[in-house]
Structure 1
Amino acid sequence: MLILLNLRQRNIVTLLLERRQFVSVNELSTIHHVSKRSIRYDLEKIEYYVEKKGAKLLHERLQGVRLVVSNDDFKPKYEESNYNKHLSPTERKDAILKYLFEKGQPISSNKFAQLLFVTRRTIVEDLKEVEKWLIHRNLALDYVQNKGFVINGPEQVYRQSYVEVASQQHGLNDLPKKLTVLSDHEFELINNSVTEKLNSLNHRIINSAKNGLVFHIAITIHRVKNGNEINMPIQELESLKKNPEFMVAKQIKEDIEMRFELAIPEAEIGYITLHLLGAKMLSPDPSNQSLENASFSRHVKNFIQEVSFQIGVDLTKDNDLYQGLLVHLRPAIHRLKYNLHLVNPLKNEISNQYPDVVEVVNNSLHILEEAFEINFNTDEQAYIALHIGSSIERQVDLDDYKIKVLLVCGSGMGTSQLLKTRLERYFHEIEIEDTYPLYDITESYLQEKKIDWVISTIPTKQFSVPTIKVGPFLPKEDRDKISSLMNIQREKVTSDVSVGPVLGEILTPELVSWDIEASDWMDAIKLAVNLLIKEKKVTQEYLDAIMQLFDKHGPYMVIDKGIAMPHAKPSDGVNSLGISFIKLKNPIAFGHSASDPISIVICLASTNAKIHLNALRQLTKLLKSESNLEDIIKSDKSTFLKLIDKVSSL
């Protein structure tokens, strides 16, 4: 049977040949912007293909795949005339864009039909999709009579879109090796020039940023040679000259001119400067104490504080988050100001892993957007959500999730103590609740003490919780048995913490009060917390902690116009997850000039940094617009409870 590889599969083979080590399915999925299932299908075809060529594809469950070849000269030969017949519509669209950008000259529909081995009618349909893609980026697909189709538009946008097409097909790390605008030798000259200048000037940037800069310069050379020069307003260029990156860009430009014997316009220095400004440094120095940096730092802290209020978790003390955002946002702001689009290969995965965090970040980014006069695109939003999600993960200590175990021993206290000691030595998550005679154990006792497992040295009946029979010396086979069950428990804990209950499971009718009269803000907070105290969700200590926070930080809990969400730390007297909701009969001032008066008080009590996020996201959906808020204020408790049921299913 003849096996033909499509473009993506060929690129995977090339990558595996270059790496000569294991590459994970997840990384391949990220690079090529497809699901892991698609990659596994690709690997099945690749495995059969390379075996026919005398090579072997190794699979390791934890490491991924590796291509093993019999000699270093192994180079798969592809039948171009056959491979192109198997491109999908999306792959044909990408191929057409790549041809158009690299050629820079009109290409006829008949030529595309020959290149891609499809009918001219198919190409006409593909070109419609190409045109939609270009229009979305303010470019045009023009037809030159008797010659064909060509891309036209502002030179800066043209180049940015060219980079976008190439990076989506190949990934930034492999970008310079995959393009045909210049020869391999010319790419090597550019790479050497950039590397030498960056090193000599001690301006070290991350590898993907350096590869992006190399490709940018390659496009610059290609376009300048063909008479396509870029312009930059004089005022903007003069402003960029104030940055130290401009001198780095100038030296790179002069070195490139010498190596290629080519005159490059001064405006190109400006765009190289922008790339350097938009690149992450390998060793950034956030200690600069200039007034500008002090202002920048303040806006970042305000953003973190806003996110903290929105999610009910204090992230303001996480210095790793603060420093990480400082390092990320400086180049990101330059990218956004000058429309240097950065493709985020993890965007979909971040959205799937942290949907609640992405929503909170999007609701809070107005602080940075207003401060720096920019608009965050979805790729940049996802990167920031990753920083916030990582911070939340750091707040959640899974070691706090102890597995409560009841021991049953039939050989006396000495045996039970030996078993207890060995269990605690090998399994830190286990917390021994007690040692009990078998005949005294009842289901009511297990439920009352919240027992997770029963571990016994003698045969027992089956209880409602897992029951494990072990030897008193806890031999290896028994430890393996417990480890297996422990792994299942860890996965369950992680899943429970990641997903969390829906709003209707937490905000129950007894925790909702309507048209309540309060004398002042203190009284309003007490009324909201008392609902949780009554249901034994929190203790009096929680109310005291909230009041202390108010005294220290002011009306920190006011999260939006008309809404306050008082909360404290899990360690401040939280027994179990709970949310109370009070709609005040008469709005009350909390001392927040922008959002007073307050009509709704939501008290959040969470046992950790993540478990409440799903419910909070659903509550935010109810309250996120002024019209929704006004409708809720005008409604009654029964109507509100119906809304909770509805949003809990989303």
Structure 2
Amino acid sequence: MGQIKITARQKKILIRLCSEYKYVTISSIAKKLSISSRTVLRGLKDIDLWIESYGCSLEKKAGIGIRLKGSVEARKDILKDLEKGKEVKSYSPKERQIMILGELLQNNEPVKLFVFTKMLNVTEGTVSHDLDKVEEWLKDYSLNLVRKPGLGVYMEGQESEIRKAIANLIYENINEAQLLDLIRENLSTEVNTRERLLNLIEKDTIRKLETLIFEHEEALDYRLTDNAYIGLLVHLALAIQRIKKNEKISMDKTYLKELKGYGEFEIAANLAEKISKVFNIEIPEQETGYITMHLRGSKGFESKGENTVLEALAKEMLQVAEVETGSFLEYDVQSLTGLINHLEPAINRLKMNMDIRNPLLQEIKEHYSELFMLAAKCIVPIENYLGMKLPDSEIAYIAMHLGAALERTPSGRKKVFKAAVSCTTGMGTSALLAARIEKEYDNIQVVEIISSLHVKESRLIDKGVDFIISTVPIEAVLLPVVVVNPLLFDKDKDKLQALIKQLKNNPETNVKAQNNTIDLKEKLSRLNIYAEGILQVLNNFFLYDYLSFSTMEEVIEEISSKLSTDKENSLQIQKDLIAREEKGSTVLSGFGAALLHCKTSGVKKLHFGAVRINEELYSLNTENDYEQIKLAIIMIAPEHCHKPHIEIMSLLSSKLMEEPDFLVSLQEGLEKEVYKKLNNYLEEFYNMNIN
């Protein structure tokens, strides 16, 4: 590589040129990278010098464009070195300000200006201007930015406001789908600013906390919404780091006493005690109070009197919508119930002065401004009841529910395909998306709304679900998944139409269920099928170690030969696995693993196992980026197998996501250890189906 360094922006330009063999225009490069043509032209000189050592050059033709002149091997070498090499990173003003905030919020001591100039590759004057913007942002949290010559820059303010600022800095720049990926450890941190923000919440801490929260959630008589679940995770992760730095939070004594009167306080205290032991820190009572608030943030009202008031308020809101739109909504039971179910926890959060986040706020304001203005009129009864103004984020949630109510069409239309809708917020996104889907498509019936954190595929199959419509990617499921924007734009409709067409052309791929009541004889027959499938998985389990493979196709070829000694069957397995790969990546992003699965006539029984790969193997993930694979998980079922057998394989795929220890065992554990876990999961599954 040449002595000259290229910036991240120049790197992107060069990647584009290496990927094209024909001439490309400066304006097309600029448009693709969202920069000016002038910026592209300025970067070409350094790029031309940088590629000289590879025997390459830039060939320019007036009126036609520019292209990289060099061999295929040289292009590959450039791309490889770009992947491994370092570059001088250039940041936008917003990126710089985010990074400065991240440093200041997690540092107790003053930070010298030269730290920022070195980190951001800018002058002190630029840093000083960025600090002015940072100071404005901090004022929303009553935090003061102190600048002392010779000493540095630091913040002053209450601990509760510092934590709120850190949390909101994360939420403003990392959406909930990305936070969900962090929880699953799927996140690919390409952007340096995002990576720095994620450093504010340690992955190991998140992983341990998730286990603890899941254990204690069982004690609640209601489920945490995904929104509240993520909020609690982030709050606890930040609290642990702040406590380790001897930063303690305060709470009004009267309010703390009130929180102690709720059942959630005891659960919060037990959770705090476990956290103390796991992280070897002391959790003060005030922290327990804040945990209680998060737990109650998903809860509805506790008295019948409050629920009666809420029902009256919801009806009053729908009456306002009727007057404004001319639609008859008050006695739409589905709209009324959905609105009440949303308002109960929302009002609890507002009463506790907790933030309400809505990741779709800007999109709703931009694309559904009339609906947002309607919601702003409808929330007046709630504002009068609470004696406070509702934030825009809550108004946007009300807009979602009103949109769902207005778009809901009379029942009785023919539904051809059954779908499950999955979302991350759990507070209204699903209602709007489901209503829009059922209005747009007379052949789609939404039969289930599910959490993307807890996908129970066997339940969906039992309900006859044909596919899942999700706002975030869901991996390791057998049912088809189409990822759409919650507001269902035109490009999302195209995706749905393509899937429907595919299912129509291949009706045998639909997993249909019969929900009829079954008699004893049929139940026993079904249990026998479950037992047969479980025995097949246990008897055919395998775990192989290999030094290396060059491609995923080599892995498939090797496994196919292991699964059947019959050459014809082996080739059929290989063909079906490759056909599944061609439909889309099976890489489990962030786990260093791929899930190779298919139904094939090459086997007569279920097969489950894994292949460990010692040396590097790279495969394209769902984002079309190369990702290192160290483990290939294999799930094979006969082409025409029983539905309960598909449920068994679905269970195992879900365990890969739900039980981190299972994946770790497959990657590192002894074969006996993996077999024991497999045995326990299947035994639990069988016992559940007996009852």
Structure index of larger Rg? 1
